[in-house]
Amino acid sequence: MSLLRSFPTLLFALVLLAILGLCIAQQSLGMLLTAGTLAALSWVITEGPRGRMLPRWLSNALVMGALVFVIADLNQNRHDLLSVLGRFAILLTLIKLYERRSVRDHAHLLTLSLLLMVTGCLQSSNLLFGVVLLLYAALGLHVLLLYQLYASFERSRQVQSPGGVAIDRLPASVKPVLGRHAGAHFRILTVALALSGVALSLLAFVLFPREVGADMFGTLRSPLSSRTTGFAWEIDLARGGRINQSRVKIATVELLDVRGSPLSDQGPLLLRGDVLDQYQGHGVWTTAPGPLKHIGVSAAGFSPLMPLVDDAIAITQRVDLNRSSIGRTPLFSIHTPVAVSADRDLSVTYDPAKQTLATADQSKGLRGYSIKVIAEPPEGVLSALNDQLLTRERRGRWYMDGDGSVAELAKRLLADGGVPTTRPSLAEARFRWNRSAAAVFTAFLHSPSFTYTTDLSAVVQYGNSRDPISRFLIETRQGHCEFFASGLVALCHSVGIPARVVVGYIAYDFDDAARRYNVHESSAHAWAEVRTARLRWEEIDPTPPASLDQFHSAQGGLGDDLRTAYEQLEGNWSRNVVEFDAVAQNHLGQSINDNWSQRISSVITLVLERMERVNMFFNVGPGGYIWMGIVASALVIAVIALITLRRRTRAIRRTLRLNHLRGAEHQRMLKHLGFYLDMIEALRRAGIPKPPWQPPLQFAASLEHRRGDTADVVREITTLFYQARYGGKSLERSDRERAATLVQELSARLR
């Protein structure tokens, strides 16, 4: 009974957990405090010594009130439907907690808690929510199993009470019928179900096809969904929420001079991944498509990208990845890459205009690469790229200032900075002007009026039609590196200066002992490049340096260690669960396939070798394999037959109670009395089991009333059994055949 008594408490705990999960997903501490307090109070009020519950009419009125509130909420937050739904679900749950608890109300609470968690899943994927989800799943399983028992018990009490008395007025004397160790069995079964459920759900999670049916009903993603730091091929400034830092180390970078000696700390390194030179509007930067060169790279040596470069002036950048790459991966490099090699043969795409490298789509398993880079490419090299650079400039789409506010701001800044607001016509003057203007804009972005932050949940307004970059520069002045880089490029574009956004990593962490840089996921960065010469792009990082220092440098101590550990966990959670996509699925499938194919083929090879050896030993020739197959099949059949015979012997001994017999008598009984066991089995399958306490003749007599059509056959079989078992008669072959026929006849009649 203690099992059933624990149900209301566990259900309440489950509901509290669901409320906690949704509040974490919505990142709303206020809602957590309010809802949590009200929920806790409901237990005291309804389950206390003088339990009071909301009358039905009042709870209905409250539900109507909640509905009105939701409609008003929806009007204000049209773009955040999920948050509105979550708040409505919490209101309903709270109202339900104050109502009278019948069996149906418990089912409603279970369903509402599930709704809360599903809504939370749609809004958040951070580690903390994941932990709550796992706890909810474990507790929810236990509560759901208990609910089955609790609901059935309440129904049986209601049925057994005369006159249909209400459940809460039933006497407690009606107790459930339960066997030995009910509690222990229930707990063991719960654990077994949980483990098998986890295994099956994991299988479904891994095997469920990704990218099938995406957005088939439109986009229903929460703008509050959090992201984890890391490289991305495009920038979307309209996605707000919070960016979680992940200090998972993804690579190490080593710089070698021309003699091959590792260089010392060079300061923060900007590792270029891709150049985003096309503005799609609404804060989205992408890369403009263009002609790419496909280069085959091998581990044997460096593959040149520019034939005119003298190796003597290039330094080597060695990158070792902590995790092998899947799919298209950028090859990060500082400066201009002039040659590349990798730890395995692969195909690489090279964009001469952007000076960026990436592996081809089908590449996988890359663990490291080396790139020769030069800080200042010779003029001859740049000239060779001239046509492509200019062509790409025409293709890129610049920032468009819809209301002119950014252009106005740019001109005002130039005026305040003493830089002419009009662009000079001569090329050299124009490039100098570009440099000066970019410096003014950078100083503006470095000013204290701008704040660096990774949490935009309070800043980003959804439904605001203003361009995010314009809003950043004019109104909010809060954002992360992508906003700062986009702001600088937008200011430059508004006055006609060629500029582009670059995404990659900034390596801050230099390991003095190993003389290499450690690159973390949190080191993902965005900066700008401004054209300051005919064929030259100057790197400018508009993110305030103090903020970068604070964000990337480790503070040391226990707090930092704990934070690092948590971020590592969150990174693993994010990478292995939240971001498990079609590419990762294919990769996993491929690796499993490869592993299993290897193992199976090695086993087959081993077996074939052994068979060949045996065949050679006996010198039978090709027919030897057939003989081996026959022998193997015969062995398998013999094993199966032995097992079957053993099981039957044990069943006969147990059913006919022959355990006390020994020797020849025992063997005779086993051999002759099997037909009686067959009769018992046939009757049992037909729903007429023989009770162990009932003598065979009495059982046969009882069938006169239950199954009169089989009574005569059963009586005859039983008579034979008695003759053999107790009469000492040795059954002849004809008797055994007769018994087998009777059993078959019985089975036919029972069908």
Partner 1 sequence: MLRRFEPHVPGLVYAALLTLVAMTAMNNQNNLLFWVFGAMLAALLISAVISTHMMRALHIRRVDPQHGRVDEPMVVRYAITNQSRILPAFNIKISERSGPARGGGDLGWRRSMAPAEAWVMHVAPRETLHGEIIFQPRRRGRVAFHAVQASTTFPFGLIRKSRAVAQSQHTLIYPQLLTLRRGILASASLVGHMGSKVSAHAGVGDDYFGTREYRSGDSLRHIAWKKSARVDDLISIDRARPSPTKLRIVLDLTTPTHKLQTDCVDDARELEERAISLAASLLHAAHGEDYEIGLSVLGVAITPIALRRNVWHLNKIMAALASIDLDGAREPIASAPVRQAERAGVIVVTSDRITPLAGHEQAIYFSARHLTSLLAEPKVLDRGHALDVHAPPVARGKRP
Cβ of residue 178: shortest distance to partner 1, in angstroms? 4
* Contact status: 144 vs partner 1 (CB under 8 A): yes
Stretch that binds partner 1, among 170-178, 288-296, 427-435, 729-737 (CB under 8 A): 170-178
Closer to partner 1 by Cβ: residue 295 or 750: 750
Per residue in 313-338, is it b (16+ CB within 10 Å) or e — as a string? ebbbbbbebeeebbbebbbbbbbbbb
Among 12, 88, 98, 153, which residue sits at the site for partner 1 (rule: CB under 8 A)? 153
Taking the C-alpha atoms of residue 393 and residue 396, their distance in angstroms, rounded to an integer, is 5
Q: Which long-range contacts does 300-304 make (Cβ < 8 Å, 24+ apart)?
A: 300/341, 301/341, 302/339, 302/340, 302/341, 302/370, 302/372, 303/339, 303/340, 303/341, 303/348, 304/338, 304/339
Question: Applying CB under 8 A, does 191 fall inside the site for partner 1?
Answer: no
Examine residue 118 and tell whether it contacts partner 1 (CB under 8 A).
yes
Q: Does 203 bind partner 1 (CB under 8 A)?
A: yes
Is 623 a residue that touches partner 1 (CB under 8 A)? no
Should residue 79 be labelled a site residue for partner 1 when binding is judged by CB under 8 A?
no
572 binds partner 1 per the rule CB under 8 A:
no
Cβ proximity to partner 1, 160 vs 597, nearer residue: 160
Query: Distance (Å, rounded) from C-alpha 274 to C-alpha 333?
Result: 10
> What whole-number distance in Å separates Cα of residue 479 and Cα of residue 237?
9
CB of 170 to partner 1, least distance (A): 14
The three-state secondary structure class of 533 is: strand
Among 371, 578, 703, 746, contact with partner 1 (rule: CB under 8 A): 578
> Interface with partner 1 includes 208 (CB under 8 A)?
yes
Quick one: CA dihedral 98, 101, 103, 104, positive or negative? negative
Strands 303-304 and 278-281: unpaired
Q: How far is the CB of 3 from partner 1 (least distance, A)?
A: 8
- 165 is an interface residue for partner 1 by CB under 8 A: no
The DSSP element (H or E) to which 457 belongs, if any, is none
> Contact 288/392 with Cβ under 8 angstroms?
yes
Residue 156 found at the interface with partner 1 (CB under 8 A): yes
Question: Which CB, 85 or 488, lies closer to partner 1?
Answer: 85
Beta pairing class for 249-256 and 499-507: unpaired
Give the chain's length. Answer: 751
Residue 220 CB, shortest distance to partner 1, in Å, is 6
Long-range contacts of 102-105 (CB under 8 A, 24+ apart): 102/154, 102/167, 103/150, 103/151, 103/154, 103/155, 103/167
- Least separation in angstroms between residue 723's CB and partner 1 is 29
Compute the distance between CA of residue 259 and CA of residue 202 in angstroms, rounded to an integer: 51
Q: What is the distance between the alpha carbons of residues 31 and 127, in angstroms, rounded to a whole number?
A: 20
Contacts with 467 (C-beta within 8 Å, 6 or more apart), sequence order:
281, 282, 283, 401, 402
In angstroms, rounded to a whole number, what is the distance separating the alpha carbons of residues 746 and 751?
Answer: 9
Q: What is the DSSP letter of 79?
A: T
Q: Is 664 near partner 1 (CB under 8 A)?
A: no
List the interface residues with partner 1, window 692-711 (CB under 8 A). Answer: 705-706
In terms of CB distance, is 176 or 368 closer to partner 1? 176
Here the tokens at position 442 are 């950078």
**Which residue, 203 or 554, has its beta carbon nearer to partner 1?**
203
Q: Is 81 in the site for partner 1 (CB under 8 A)?
A: no
Number of residues interacting with partner 1: please give it, by CB under 8 A: 67
List the x/- string, 377-416, binding to partner 1 by CB under 8 A.
----------------------------------------
CB of 690 to partner 1, least distance (A): 11
Euclidean distance between CA atoms 618 and 353, whole angstroms: 71
| Distance, C-alpha 75 to centroid of its chain | 33
Stretch that binds partner 1, among 156-164, 695-703, 718-726, 730-738 (CB under 8 A): 156-164
Dist. CA 728–CA 354, nearest whole Å: 101
Residues from 119 through 138 that contact partner 1 (CB under 8 A) = 121-122, 125, 130, 133, 137
**Stretch touching partner 1 by CB under 8 A, among 36-44, 199-207, 526-534, 633-641:** 199-207
Q: In the 3-class helix/strand/coil scheme, how is 229-270 assigned residue by residue? A: CCCCCCEECCCCCEEECCCCEEEEEEEECCCCCECCCCCCEE
Least distance from C-beta 678 to partner 1, angstroms? 18
CB closer to partner 1, 155 vs 657: 155
Rule CB under 8 A: say whether 189 interacts with partner 1: yes
Stretch near partner 1 under the rule CB under 8 A, chosen from 112-120, 406-414, 502-510, 726-734:
112-120
Nearer to partner 1, 174 or 443 (CB): 174
178 binds partner 1 (CB under 8 A): yes
- Which residues would be at the binding site for partner 1 (CB under 8 A)? 107, 114, 117-118, 121-122, 125, 130, 133, 137, 144-145, 147-149, 151-153, 155-156, 159-160, 162, 176-182, 185-186, 189, 193, 196-197, 199-205, 208, 210-218, 220-221, 577-581, 685-689, 705-706
